[in-house]
């Protein structure tokens, strides 16, 4: 039987890709951010997930305003990355797991989530950058299933809807008969706004509250309305719904193994979080 071994949350801003390409991990501006990831990579080395399910929001590479699904699940054998115009090098294709993808899609539909199933799917920086941060060697990456959640074209799904969506993903994984170790990754956030009169907005107190609540009381965050979330976290801070979906997929009591918070990263509050299901042996992280 498949099982969720843990969840990871991290930001995905494009400038991280440029910093990786230029080798700026030790640069004073970037070092506090990149220092968050060695403990996560050590945990991944110990737990060796077979599949990474990546919950992210597409920024126009695969979907655009004329056709923006609420929930889109990849069902391909591989996922390509193409030039987005940020100057980020294009990543090699990512391997998929079509069998688990179709199981997820069927299970989510039975749970009354209307899914856009994608037998071809391009993945953008919101997917590729977290994968590069967690697995610097492309060949070492597990199989992947990208799940895009709309945060661009309103109406976007509510925090509670996304938390329940994550719970449905967790149930689907638990019902899959193959013995697989699955890590669920939520990307985006924390607070930031890129345009309008509040451009550059960051709400540190709200971010820190989210980092605490998402571990022990995610239902509190799920009770926010979409407008509440935008007011407190900024227009793009609504990406917190991917974190909530990740948290919902963790089927048991979870244990926080690692967390960091750093401002600024390209006008974005950068949070990193590693959660492990308490039902699984807790790997030492130093």
> Does 282 map to a domain?
no
pLDDT of 283 > 50? The answer is: no
76 inside domain: yes
Whether 65 is covered by a domain: the verdict is yes
* Predicted pLDDT at 189: 83
The verdict on residue 201 lying in a domain is yes
- Asked whether residue 238 is assigned to any structural domain, the reply reads yes
Give me the percent of the chain exceeding a pLDDT of 90: 77
- pLDDT score of 279: 61
Q: In terms of DSSP H, where are the helices of 50-158? A: 98-110, 125-134
Q: Which residues are catalytic?
A: 125, 192
Q: Which domain holds residue 38?
A: 3-277
Average pLDDT over the chain, rounded to whole? 92
In this structure, is the dihedral angle defined by the CA atoms of residues 10, 15, 17 and 19, taken in order, positive or negative? negative
**Quick one: average pLDDT of 139-146?**
97
Q: Which residues contact 285 (CB under 8 A, 6 or more apart)?
A: 39, 42, 43, 257, 258, 274
Residue 286 lies in a domain: no
Q: Round to whole Å and give the CA distance between 113 and 109.
A: 5
Give the CATH number of the domain where residue 218 resides: 3.40.830.10
Q: What percent of the chain has pLDDT over 70?
A: 97
- 226: pLDDT strictly greater than 60: yes
Answer whether residue 284 is part of any domain: no
What pLDDT is attached to residue 83? Answer: 85
Structure confidence at residue 247 as a pLDDT band (50, 70, 90): very high
Structural domain tally of the chain?
Answer: 1
Q: Which of 42-46, 139-143, 189-193, 204-208 has the lowest mean pLDDT?
A: 189-193
Domain annotation covers residue 166: yes
- Is residue 170 pLDDT above 50, yes or no? yes
pTM of the model: 0.94
What's residue 284's pLDDT? Answer: 46
Mean pLDDT of 100-113: 98
Instruction: Please give the backbone phi and psi of residue 74, each rounded to the nearest 5 degrees, phi first.
Output: -70, 140
Give me 126's structure tokens: 């919101």
Rg of the chain, C-alpha, whole Å: 17
């Amino acid at each position: 039987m498949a099982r969720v071994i843990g969840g990871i949350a991290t930001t995905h801003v494009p400038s991280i890709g440029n910093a990786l390409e230029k080798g700026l991990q030790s640069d004073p501006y970037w070092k506090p951010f990149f220092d968050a990831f060695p403990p996560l990579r050590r945990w991944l080395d110990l737990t060796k997930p077979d599949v990474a399910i990546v919950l992210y929001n597409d920024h126009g590479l695969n979907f655009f305003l004329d056709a923006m699904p609420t929930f889109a699940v990849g069902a391909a054998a591989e996922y390509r990355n193409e030039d987005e115009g940020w100057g980020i090098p294009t990543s090699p294709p990512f391997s998929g797991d079509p069998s688990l993808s179709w199981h997820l899609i069927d299970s989510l539909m039975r749970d009354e989530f209307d899914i856009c199933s994608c037998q071809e799917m391009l993945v953008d920086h919101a997917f590729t950058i977290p994968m590069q941060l967690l697995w610097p060697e492309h060949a070492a990456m597990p199989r992947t299933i990208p799940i895009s959640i709309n945060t661009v074209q309103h109406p976007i799904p509510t925090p509670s809807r996304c938390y329940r969506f994550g719970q449905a993903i967790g149930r689907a994984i638990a019902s899959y008969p193959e013995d697989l170790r699955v890590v669920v990754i939520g990307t985006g956030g924390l607070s930031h706004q890129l345009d309008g009169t509040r451009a550059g907005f960051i709400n540190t107190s709200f971010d820190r509250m989210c980092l605490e609540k998402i571990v022990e009381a995610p239902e509190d965050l799920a009770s926010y309305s979409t407008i509440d979330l935008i007011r407190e976290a900024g227009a793009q801070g609504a990406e917190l719904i991917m974190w909530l979906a990740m948290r919902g997929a963790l089927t048991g009591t979870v244990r926080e193994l690692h967390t960091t918070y750093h401002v600024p990263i390209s006008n974005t509050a950068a949070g990193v979080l590693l959660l492990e299901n308490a039902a699984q042996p807790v790997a030492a992280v130093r």
